[in-house]
């Protein structure tokens, strides 16, 4: 952790020196970006009108995608030949880039958080669903035979055997899904709302506020980093029994 902080500090120092020397307006120095970020991120209007609503939509859409992905993926993974019938349809659906569907969602659901939510869900569900399918199908045969011998109930089988066995792969899908959800949140706000981080990013670009534009970009990166770290902590604690190292 200390080494990482030192490396980041070194990069910032070099970036500051190079951008100061180059005086390129498109690449403002980190200190200018930090000053503008302080003005934007912590102003009450931006915090309550843009940042918190964006976080709410991001986490809401991701949680919906996670629940649907785990439920559907586990069901398909344990349903025998279900993937033989649904596999081609799922492959087609996941190959359609969600940003291309934003205009359709705007017409169907009008502008607002509902369009953002459906955009995030349609893109973020696939890593969770497919990893849940793979995890549910890879339950050890010995565990299956043991469960049958003890005649455990269906809920006990799902929550006590299948989900714990599939959880490493499910968490891998959740981490990838979270990154996709962040990207789709920004993209949907660029065109589908009148507030949010993506909207303010486009607004800063339109007014040639380059330091402000970089400030919003840094915020998006920081949110992605922090959310991923939180999910990693949850993963390590939830899978402590697994004995593996998760990075």
- Report pLDDT digits (tens) over 99-118: 888 778 878 877 778 888 99
38 found inside a domain? yes
Which band of pLDDT confidence, cut at 50, 70 and 90, is reported for residue 8?
A: confident
Is 159 exposed, middle or buried, given 0-12, 13-18 or 19+ CB atoms closer than 10 A? exposed
In a domain, 41, yes or no: yes
pLDDT at 109: 79
More confident residue, 245 or 237: 237
Q: Is the pLDDT of residue 241 over 90?
A: no
- For residues 76-91, average pLDDT: 78
Task: Quote the number of domains for the chain.
Answer: 1
Question: What average pLDDT does range 224-239 have in this prediction?
Answer: 91
Q: What is the CATH number of the domain that holds 104?
A: 1.10.3720.10
Average of per-residue pLDDT values in the chain: 85
pLDDT at 35 over 70: yes
Does 191 fall in a domain? yes
- Which value, to the nearest 10 degrees, does the dihedral of the CA atoms of residues 47, 234, 222, 200 take? -40
Residue 151 lies in a domain: yes
Q: Is residue 106, in this structure, part of any structural domain at all?
A: yes
What is the band of 218 on the pLDDT scale with cuts at 50, 70, 90? very high
65 found inside a domain: yes
For the residues 17-36, what does the mean pLDDT come to?
84
Residue 194 in any domain: the answer is yes
Residues 171, 162: Cα–Cα separation, whole Å: 14
Domain that holds residue 64: 29-238
Instruction: Let me know if residue 21 belongs to a domain.
Output: no
């Amino acid at each position: 952790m200390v080494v990482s902080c030192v490396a980041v500090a070194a990069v910032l120092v070099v970036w500051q020196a190079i951008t100061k020397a180059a005086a390129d307006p498109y690449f403002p120095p980190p200190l200018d970006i930090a000053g503008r970020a302080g003005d934007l991120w912590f102003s009450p209007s931006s915090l309550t009108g843009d940042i918190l609503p964006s976080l709410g939509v991001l986490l809401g859409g991701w949680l919906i995608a996670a629940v649907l992905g785990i439920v559907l993926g586990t069901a398909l993974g344990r349903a025998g030949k279900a993937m033989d019938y649904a596999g081609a349809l799922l492959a087609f659906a996941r190959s359609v880039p969600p940003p291309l569907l934003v205009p359709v969602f705007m017409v169907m659901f009008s502008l607002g958080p509902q369009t953002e939510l459906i955009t995030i869900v349609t893109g973020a569900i696939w890593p969770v669903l497919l990893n849940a399918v793979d995890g549910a199908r890879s339950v050890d045969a010995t565990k299956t035979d043991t469960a049958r011998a003890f005649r455990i109930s269906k809920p006990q089988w799902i929550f006590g055997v299948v989900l714990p066995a599939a959880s490493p792969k499910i968490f891998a899908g959740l981490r990838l899904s979270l990154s996709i959800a962040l990207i789709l949140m920004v993209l949907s706000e660029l065109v589908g709302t009148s507030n949010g981080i993506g909207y303010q990013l486009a607004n800063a670009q339109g007014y040639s506020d380059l330091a402000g534009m970089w400030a919003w970009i840094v915020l998006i990166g920081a949110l992605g980093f922090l959310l991923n770290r939180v999910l990693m902590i949850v993963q390590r604690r939830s899978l402590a029994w697994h004995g593996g190292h998760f990075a």
